[in-house]
Chain A
Amino acid sequence: MRKFFLVVIILGILIPLLIGSLRRPAIEPRPVQDLKTEFAAKHIPSVDHMKLAALQRKFSTPQEVTQACIACHTERAGEVMASTHWNWAREEYIEGHGIRYVGKRDILNNFCIGVSGNLESCDACHAGYGYVDSSFDFSDPKNIDCLICHDNSSTYTKTKMGMPAPSVDLTFVAQHVGPPQRTNCGTCHFFGGGGNNVKHGDLEKALFDPSRDVDVHMATAGSNLQCVACHTARNHRLLGKLYSISSMNRNRSTCEQCHSAVPHDNDVLNEHTVKVACQTCHIPRYARVNATKMTWDWSTAGQLRNGEPFETEDSSGNLAYASIKGTFGWERNAVPEYIWFNGTAGHYLLGDTVSPDRPIEINTLHGSYDDPDAKIVPVKIHRARQIYDPVTRMLIQPKLYAPVRGAGAFWKDFDWQQAATQGMKSVGLPYSGQYTFVATEMTWPINHMVAPKEQALQCVECHTRSNSRLAHLTGFYMPGRDTNRIVEAGGTGLLLLVILAVAVHGTVRIFLHLRARKGPLT
């Protein structure tokens, strides 16, 4: 008997140990408390620019400010001129196109379509002065706009031609420079596409002063992180980019930078991170404060009232129709769509010929369950109708902006024929003279406005038979969502058969017993 208990005890110890040994040793994540402490440290500048003699003067042009900057920061100009903020292009490998030097010049978007021919307007977000056409000299450091990123006084604004607004006091701004703040990044990145939150859905003016519910990292009353806390920079090369233009899986800014790939206490949750991006659960909805543009129908643009363009708003105050742009659909607190994404993307490049049978993918995010690099990510898919040449089978780059009428710009003349002719001419592509409008789609990964953990997706929002958030992702088995038809039918059938047999057998027994009314029930 003693031997019996001894063996029982040994088994009782060995088996849990054996099970425990199968576990993957956890990579210790940095405790959130440590991170909070680290990021609470305030940046103390080594230089007070207000005291610099070189800045005690009046600047008559912004280029003079730049020259003053690079007189001391001698090597920074070269760094900026190697950056994407300056070039609006970089060398990328794009599947189907090979290695190309591409950027906003060649890649279209699903909003104002493209910068070509419209640079006078788009240049308001170029980190330079006077990039209005292809004659711009990308090797002249004088035209670098240091202030758009480094103004810490929140008084610097840019306008057409990329020049500072006339009201800007250049001396004051030059004396108040420092590391980029949210206001610097947000000025451009929150308003892409011609208005707040139009493009991204997860980058908008609410991030200037967010609550914890809006952004758990940037909450002004909380960790108050700036954009550059995650989008760290070395020599003016910033970590992170978006697949509206980028193509390759490199230089990404990730949650794992701080939190590691296994940040949960729960092993089951940690295992999810192999196939599920952090954003999928931790950004359950996007555009949680202000609406984002979901649809854009260019085909209705150009309607005039009494010969004048007009705008209408929807019930929530969002722009519903604009003569210059067409009809919009907006959504607030939107549920993302989900796709497999391996960090590489393809793009429609100007001049590509495509069939309009299916919606034309302005960008294509690659990935599948079978791809070991791919994870499930949340995305906003922006659906539009864009102008298209049915003869050359190309999407048309229309000329939209010009300062005056008569230049063929759609926003002044409201003539698609002229806009298409002038636009395609500006990019050196043929235009047949015929145009129509076709469905297009653009995919935007959702990465920002991370919700507090209490608001993270619950298991059952994906692991459920009906209305699973991942209902459209196929090619893999997910517990709770999927069943095997044969096992389900066979198992249920067998169970019902036995219940039926028991019911019949039991009923006959009880019936016979009652009829006999003698002896115990057997």
Chain B
Amino acid sequence: MKQMYVYTGFERFWHWTQAGLILFLALTGFEIHGSYQFFGFDQAVRFHSAAAIALLILIAFAVFWHFTTGEWKQYVPTKKFLRAYAAYYLIGIFRHAPHPTRKTTLSKLNPLQRLVYLGLKILVIPVSVISGLLYMFYRYPQRHGIETLNVHGVAAIAVVHTAGAFLLVTFVTAHIYLITTGRTATSNLKAMITGFEDVGEEEFRWVDGENHAAQPEVI
């Protein structure tokens, strides 16, 4: 079986660190939200703030990596194969059909992933980060001290931050399931751990409900 190097060392480090931090932020964040008690409110706040700082630093590195390596191009959305992939996940997957396209180093994301990840990168994460920063650094109007980031109340910040949290948790739930939908149930997971993904001898693609033998195609 041919193997292909898909995920570089930094990419894997970034992915797993981000995954861990987001899960930890969700765990502590929903405790602060009042959904349950686990660490204790004060500890949850402390941990949540620390993890948030860690995530910010990670994001700074990741942003830099995306632009210096040109990896950002992976997230440019496309309509090409979009319907094919929708059809694959709704129908083809149940018939053991192959993925519509083959993963390559140049194009490791399918069009659905591109859309969802782009949405995370430019919408959900920025909204969560900005509302989170405001949450950490807002100031109530007061007459003493430097009036940085005065707010009347935290309601708007809190509501936006919570909405972002719900979207992230929903994403993670779907994401954890979808990693089982690679060539085999574990091939995606293995790839994200080792960097290498098995690639089959031949590839098929599923277009408009029909199975076409096809050459791997770069999107």
Chain A interface residues toward B at CB < 8 A: 4, 7-8, 11-12, 15-16, 19, 22-25, 27, 261, 268, 271, 274-275, 369-370, 372, 458-460, 463-465, 476-477, 479-484, 487-488, 490-492, 494-495, 498-499, 501-502, 505-506, 508-509, 512, 516, 519-522
Question: Is B162 touching A22 in the complex (CB atoms < 8 A)?
Answer: no
Question: Is B53 touching A274 in the complex (CB atoms < 8 A)?
Answer: no
Nearest-neighbour CB distance to chain B for A233, whole angstroms, equals 27
Chain B contributes a number of interface residues (CB within 8 A of A) equal to 52
B119-138: which residues lie under 8 A (CB-CB) from chain A?
Answer: 133, 137
Question: Is B173 touching A498 in the complex (CB atoms < 8 A)?
Answer: yes
9 residue pairs A–B, Cβ–Cβ below 8 Å: A4-B64, A15-B57, A19-B53, A22-B137, A476-B153, A477-B154, A484-B159, A491-B162, A506-B180
| Among candidates B45, B143, B184, B185, residue contacting A268 with C-beta atoms closer than 8 Å | B45
CA distance A264 to B139 in the complex (A): 16
Question: Is A477 touching B158 in the complex (CB atoms < 8 A)?
Answer: yes
Q: For residue B156, which residue of chain A has the nearest CB? A: A477
CA distance A494 to B165 in the complex (A): 12
Question: Is A480 touching B162 in the complex (CB atoms < 8 A)?
Answer: no
Question: Is B41 touching A492 in the complex (CB atoms < 8 A)?
Answer: no
B18-43: which residues lie under 8 A (CB-CB) from chain A?
Answer: 32-34, 37, 40-42
CA distance A11 to B57 in the complex (A): 8
Nearest-neighbour CB distance to chain B for A260, whole angstroms, equals 10
For A508, the chain B residues whose CB sits under 8 A away are 94
CA distance A465 to B41 in the complex (A): 12
CA distance A7 to B63 in the complex (A): 12
Answer whether residue B72 sits at the interface, using C-beta atoms and an 8 A cutoff.
no
For B64, the chain A residues whose CB sits under 8 A away are 4, 7-8, 11
B61-95: which residues lie under 8 A (CB-CB) from chain A?
Answer: 61, 64, 68, 89, 93-94
Question: Is A520 touching B184 in the complex (CB atoms < 8 A)?
Answer: yes
Nearest-neighbour CB distance to chain A for B156, whole angstroms, equals 8
For the complex of A and B, list the 5 residue pairs with the smallest distance between their C-beta atoms, beginning with the closest: A491-B166, A477-B155, A459-B41, A502-B177, A480-B34
CA distance A8 to B144 in the complex (A): 37
Q: For residue A518, which residue of chain B has the nearest CB? A: B96
For A275, the chain B residues whose CB sits under 8 A away are 140
CA distance A234 to B166 in the complex (A): 59
| Among candidates A463, A491, A505, residue contacting B34 with C-beta atoms closer than 8 Å | A463
Question: Is B173 touching A495 in the complex (CB atoms < 8 A)?
Answer: yes
A487 and B162 contact, Cβ closer than 8 Å, known pairs A458-B41, A522-B184: yes
Question: Is B163 touching A491 in the complex (CB atoms < 8 A)?
Answer: yes
Question: Is A502 touching B154 in the complex (CB atoms < 8 A)?
Answer: no
For B155, the chain A residues whose CB sits under 8 A away are 476-477, 482, 484
Q: For residue B173, which residue of chain A has the nearest CB? A: A498
Q: A7-B68, A484-B158 are in contact. List 18 more A-B contacts (CB 8 A).
A: A11-B60, A458-B41, A459-B40, A463-B32, A465-B34, A482-B155, A487-B162, A487-B163, A488-B162, A491-B165, A491-B170, A494-B170, A498-B174, A502-B177, A509-B93, A519-B96, A521-B184, A521-B185
Nearest-neighbour CB distance to chain B for A218, whole angstroms, equals 28
B169-185: which residues lie under 8 A (CB-CB) from chain A?
Answer: 169-170, 173-174, 177, 180-181, 183-185
CA distance A164 to B61 in the complex (A): 80
Question: Is B94 touching A25 in the complex (CB atoms < 8 A)?
Answer: no
CA distance A262 to B173 in the complex (A): 42
For B213, the chain A residues whose CB sits under 8 A away are none
CA distance A464 to B31 in the complex (A): 10
Question: Is B166 touching A492 in the complex (CB atoms < 8 A)?
Answer: yes
| Among candidates B42, B68, B94, B137, residue contacting A509 with C-beta atoms closer than 8 Å | B94
Answer whether residue B56 sits at the interface, using C-beta atoms and an 8 A cutoff.
yes
For B41, the chain A residues whose CB sits under 8 A away are 458-460, 463-464, 480
For A12, the chain B residues whose CB sits under 8 A away are 57, 60-61
Q: For residue A459, which residue of chain B has the nearest CB? A: B41
CA distance A372 to B139 in the complex (A): 12
For A483, the chain B residues whose CB sits under 8 A away are 33-34, 162
Q: For residue A262, which residue of chain B has the nearest CB? A: B145
| Among candidates B94, B162, B174, B183, residue contacting A512 with C-beta atoms closer than 8 Å | B94
CA distance A482 to B159 in the complex (A): 10
Question: Is B185 touching A520 in the complex (CB atoms < 8 A)?
Answer: yes
For A505, the chain B residues whose CB sits under 8 A away are 89, 177
CA distance A275 to B177 in the complex (A): 45
For A479, the chain B residues whose CB sits under 8 A away are 32-34, 154, 158
CA distance A516 to B96 in the complex (A): 10
Nearest-neighbour CB distance to chain B for A284, whole angstroms, equals 15
Answer whether residue B149 sits at the interface, using C-beta atoms and an 8 A cutoff.
yes
CA distance A15 to B60 in the complex (A): 8
Question: Is A274 touching B184 in the complex (CB atoms < 8 A)?
Answer: no
Question: Is A369 touching B153 in the complex (CB atoms < 8 A)?
Answer: yes
Nearest-neighbour CB distance to chain A for B142, whole angstroms, equals 5
For B96, the chain A residues whose CB sits under 8 A away are 516, 519, 522
